[in-house]
Amino acid sequence: MDYREYWVKRAENNIKRGESISNSTLKALKKPYVETANNINKAVVGFLAKYSNEGLMPITDLRKTLTKEELKEYKLLLSKYINYLKEIKSVDISEEMQKAKKLSTMKKVSRQNILELYILLYLTELGLKKEEKLHDSIKTSYEESYYHSIYDIQRYDKEGTKVKALDEEETENIITKPWLDENYSERIYKERDKTNTIILRSILQCMALQQDYNTMTGLINKNMDSSYTRTKGLVKTEVSHAVDEAVEITYKEMGISKYQFVVILDNRTSEICREMDLQVFDIKDAQVGINYPPMHPNCRSSTIPYDNPEEVNKGTRMARTVRGKLYEVPATLSYNEWKKVRVY
């Protein structure tokens, strides 16, 4: 196995490990998503059915004030929601907490207020489950990639180089550090807010059009499915970032000064990554989303060490036809050059 083939294979193994962790995470989140959709449907239908025996109540009735008994229920739900907010650690929710506490002091609350709270309560509960699961997945991805990368480098090029074991606190700081302005927790609750807005709008539109409960619950389920699809991209991108972050750190610790950006030669590779293919950068200048992966959600690009250009540029690299068949091309053939001569 030549130099380039060795490193490309190592990069592919890192990607596969990340994909395996991402798929396990998404599989584990499917049940909480279904439960959340069922809980929202049950709560919303149960609440609206109290005010109308046939069909949805008029949207104007949402302005009506809750009775004393309903207000008690609202305060209990609000207390539970506040407790959920207290469990959020990696996001500044001070403004949201302040708003919730202000609502708890209100003596007059509308039906719409409690309707909104039902949705937000269950989506926040889901957010906590997503945050816990994704945290563990990111941590596992980072740790596995770190130690595998060190082993790969020592095995081929830096045998005997001493490296430090990962420190628990330092690892936690790295995986919770914002990248491209946000960390994984902030993205989770940003997704929660988006889904909350969409579901509430769907319910209000159904009420305005006087549609039936089946239509409304169908829309809620559809909105939750869309949220799960967006979460797929979030999970895969965050895990990919953890893998790439670990690789970058091992480069620095093992004394590797340059890296080469490498993409997959197939028709799925993004425009931005195509332009980056085979570009070489100093490790000290690496910036995620600028010249270091991930460049975008669901990015499949990777890097290889470039301290030995003569060896890196020898041999071949693999490309893929439209039908998925692999074939070899020269190691120095970039994506844009390959695109002109690719095999269909």
Cα–Cα dist 269/262, whole Å: 11
Looking at residue 157, what is its pLDDT?
66
Of 257, 334, 258, 324, the C-alpha closest to 301 is 334
Looking at residue 190, what is its pLDDT?
97
Average pLDDT in the 205-234 region?
96
Contact, 146 vs 249, CB < 8 A?
Answer: yes
Which two tokens mark 22?
A: 């991402």
Task: Report in angstroms the alpha-carbon separations of 269 from 156, 203, 225.
Answer: 29, 39, 26
- Mean of pLDDT over the chain: 93
- Residue 101 has a CB neighbour count (10 Å cut-off) of 12
Q: What is the pLDDT of residues 253-264, one digit of tens each?
A: 889 999 999 999
Contact, 51 vs 57, CB < 8 A?
Answer: yes
Contact, 183 vs 90, CB < 8 A?
Answer: yes
Q: What is the pLDDT of residues 155-209, one digit of tens each?
A: 876 555 677 789 999 999 999 999 999 999 999 999 999 999 999 999 999 999 9
Helices (H), the chain: 3-49, 68-87, 94-104, 111-156, 168-176, 184-208, 213-253, 271-276, 309-312, 335-341
**pLDDT tier, 337 (very low <50, low <70, confident <90, very high otherwise):** very high
Q: What are the two backbone dihedrals, phi and then psi, of residue 263, each rounded to the nearest 5 degrees?
A: -115, 170
Q: What is the pLDDT of residues 281-330, one digit of tens each?
A: 999 999 999 999 999 999 999 999 999 899 899 889 999 988 889 999 99
Average pLDDT in the 264-278 region?
95
Match 């506040």 to its residue by tokens.
82
Cα–Cα dist 92/102, whole Å: 18
